[in-house]
């Protein structure tokens, strides 16, 4: 039992983040760290498991979602009692100023040689309307805490936009007071495999990839993977059973992050329908919203929360921003689960539904899209495998003729999944292919690849050298066409490497 608990509390990956926390802890001055990232990404786990092993006094309190001021202060009072006064009964504080005053007094009783870490988790939930928590924080940081070299303050929240607007970019008393900022991203493939192994799930690269395309690198979701089941069996259990752990996660996730969450869901649902991204102007037309601050603000908040990404397509710098959904769970839910949600909740489907669907042509088509998204999150690994200059610009490219897409005079349409515009007068064009078995480039596929490169050269008028690369999930079979067209290959193993 002790061994399994130790493994469950082990921090997998997060090398850079642990280094930041180590440096913060080692300084002989007060520190103010803001930490944010997508909900369920492991912020609380990282901080608690890191500092509970350090020789310090660790004060941890978390906000209560939709909790009233009295509830928030009651929880804060209880933590002060537990950490500083051995759990004696304390009358709950009536304001945040009173609570922070009590905390300051309690810290003065701690040895001058003992470092103190204050971890205010989900602080945006504590900052209820007219609560005075933010102004109290400003006062006590500036008046007392910043002068205490023992003190390390960590303000954490899943609402990235709130942390950025109210703390990082604060125009009042906290202006320029933050000493460090950390954005906690989902785990990459390498760290996902290590995390699963730490939980006893020693899966091969292919099984981990299939889970990653559905769950992403979200530690909480990965912790739900049951030992001894294949990726597809796990997906069946988590999503396609009435009591599946992730059946109702979507609504909970968005309601915990956004007020009027339905408006955000409407936006993300439209973006998810556009595989290669959608321009902001078209998005506004489709959702029938005004182009005012409301839509722009929601897009910004969705991006800061890690659900979408804004980008300029390669060669389209004058066309405005495009948006694409990058959260794997969201994409899977909207495409596969939402259309079946009523049947799942009513038990109106037979066991083994997903095991059957995972062999269908629909899954094969969708998994190609999902694999492209995974590759775009592992650009550093791909650059390393191809020995591409880190300064190369990555992007995608798409050309849709204004007239008939088959019109030869117009060049025909073409889509490039990923390309690297290199400083050595060359462009690496990547074709991404998901398959269950090693893929063979036959004559028809070879002609399509050659045509794609030709259209790109015609439409961009580039004079740079073009190198064609294949990124595959199951490898390539050697063939005449492979030798003629492909300069390099990136394998699934390359995507799992550490960088």
Domains and CATH numbers, the chain: 2-183 (3.40.50.300), 251-333 (1.10.10.10), 378-495 (3.40.1350.10)
Span 429-451, pLDDT tens digits: 999 999 999 999 999 999 999 99
Tell me the range of 118-122, 288-292, 352-356, 359-363 where mean pLDDT is highest.
118-122
pLDDT of residue 1 exceeding 70, the answer is no
Q: Does residue 345 contact residue 368 with C-beta atoms inside 8 Å?
A: no
Determine the average pLDDT of the residues in 64-74. 94
Tell me what pLDDT residue 409 has. 46
Q: Return the SS3 of 350.
A: coil
Span 347-392, pLDDT tens digits: 766 678 888 888 888 898 899 999 999 999 999 999 999 999 988 9
Look at 28-32, 70-74, 359-363 and tell me which has the smallest mean pLDDT: 359-363
Q: Return the SS3 of 102.
A: helix
- What is the C-alpha separation between 412 and 418, in angstroms, rounded? 19
Widest Cα–Cα separation across the chain: 83
Averaged pLDDT score across all residues of the chain: 91
Cα–Cα distances in Å, from 18 out to 23, 49, 72? 9, 11, 29
pLDDT of residue 221 exceeding 70, the answer is yes
Tell me what pLDDT residue 317 has. 59
Tell me what pLDDT residue 58 has. 97
Q: Does residue 468 contact residue 453 with C-beta atoms inside 8 Å?
A: yes
Determine if residue 211 is left, alpha or beta; phi over 0 gives left, psi from -120 to 50 gives alpha, anything else beta: alpha
pLDDT of residue 270 exceeding 60, the answer is yes
Tell me what pLDDT residue 293 has. 57
Nearest to 49 by CA among 103, 13, 76: 13
pLDDT of residue 217 exceeding 90, the answer is yes
Tell me what pLDDT residue 316 has. 66
- What is the C-alpha separation between 6 and 142, in angstroms, rounded? 39
Tell me what pLDDT residue 311 has. 87
Give the model's confidence band at 403: pLDDT under 50 very low, under 70 low, under 90 confident, else very high.
low
Tell me what pLDDT residue 291 has. 46
Give the model's confidence band at 2: pLDDT under 50 very low, under 70 low, under 90 confident, else very high.
very low
Tell me what pLDDT residue 72 has. 96
Q: Does residue 180 contact residue 32 with C-beta atoms inside 8 Å?
A: yes
Span 482-498, pLDDT tens digits: 889 999 999 999 999 99
Q: Does residue 487 contact residue 467 with C-beta atoms inside 8 Å?
A: yes
Determine the average pLDDT of the residues in 414-423. 93
- What is the C-alpha separation between 490 and 372, in angstroms, rounded? 13
Span 152-183, pLDDT tens digits: 999 999 999 999 999 999 998 899 999 999 99
Determine the average pLDDT of the residues in 215-242. 95
pLDDT of residue 407 exceeding 80, the answer is no
Tell me what pLDDT residue 408 has. 43
């Amino acid at each position: 039992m002790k061994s399994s608990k130790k493994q469950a509390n082990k921090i997998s990956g997060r090398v850079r983040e642990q280094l930041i926390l180590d440096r913060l802890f080692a300084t002989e001055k007060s520190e103010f760290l803001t930490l944010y990232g997508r909900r369920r990404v492991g912020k609380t786990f990282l901080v608690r498991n890191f500092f509970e092993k350090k020789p310090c006094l660790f004060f941890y309190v978390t906000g209560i979602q939709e909790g009233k001021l009295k509830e928030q202060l009651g929880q804060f009072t209880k933590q002060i009692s537990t950490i500083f006064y051995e759990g004696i009964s304390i009358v709950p504080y009536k304001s945040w100023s009173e609570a922070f005053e009590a905390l300051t007094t309690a810290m003065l009783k701690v040895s001058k040689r003992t470092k103190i870490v204050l971890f205010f988790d989900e602080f945006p939930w504590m900052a209820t309307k007219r609560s005075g928590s933010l102004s109290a924080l400003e006062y006590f940081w500036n008046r007392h805490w910043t002068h205490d070299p023992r003190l390390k303050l960590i303000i954490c929240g899943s609402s990235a936009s709130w942390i950025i607007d109210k703390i990082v970019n604060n125009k009042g008393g906290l202006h320029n007071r933050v000493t460090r900022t950390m954005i906690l991203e989902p785990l990459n493939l390498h760290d996902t495999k290590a995390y699963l192994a730490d939980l006893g799930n020693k899966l091969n690269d292919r099984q981990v990839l299939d889970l990653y395309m559905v769950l992403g690198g979200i530690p909480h979701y990965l912790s739900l993977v049951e030992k001894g089941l294949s990726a597809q069996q796990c997906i069946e259990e988590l999503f396609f059973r009435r009591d599946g752990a992730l059946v109702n996660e979507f609504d909970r996730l968005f309601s915990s992050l956004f007020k009027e969450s339905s408006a955000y869901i409407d936006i993300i649902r439209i973006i998810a329908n556009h595989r290669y991204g959608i321009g902001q102007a078209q998005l506004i037309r489709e959702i029938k919203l005004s182009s005012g601050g409301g839509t722009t603000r929601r897009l910004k908040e969705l991006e800061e929360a890690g659900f979408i990404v804004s980008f300029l397509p390669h060669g389209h710098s004058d066309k405005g921003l495009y948006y694409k959904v990058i959260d794997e769970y969201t994409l899977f839910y909207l495409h596969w689960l939402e259309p079946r949600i009523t049947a799942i909740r009513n038990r109106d489907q037979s066991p083994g539904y997903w095991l059957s669907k995972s062999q269908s042509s629909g899954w094969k088509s969708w998994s190609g899209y999902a694999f492209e998204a995974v590759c775009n999150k592992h650009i550093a690994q791909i650059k390393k495998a191809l020995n591409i200059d880190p300064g190369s610009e990555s992007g995608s490219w798409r050309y849709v003729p204004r007239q008939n897409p088959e019109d030869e005079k117009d060049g025909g349409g073409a889509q490039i999944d990923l390309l690297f515009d290199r400083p050595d007068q060359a462009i690496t064009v990547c074709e991404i292919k998901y398959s269950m078995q090693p893929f063979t480039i036959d004559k028809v596929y070879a002609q399509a690849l050659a045509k794609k490169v030709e259209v790109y050269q015609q439409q961009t008028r580039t004079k740079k050298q073009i190198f064609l690369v294949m990124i595959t999930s199951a490898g390539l079979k050697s063939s005449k066409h492979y030798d003629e067209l492909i300069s390099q290959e990136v394998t699934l193993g390359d995507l799992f490497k550490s960088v």
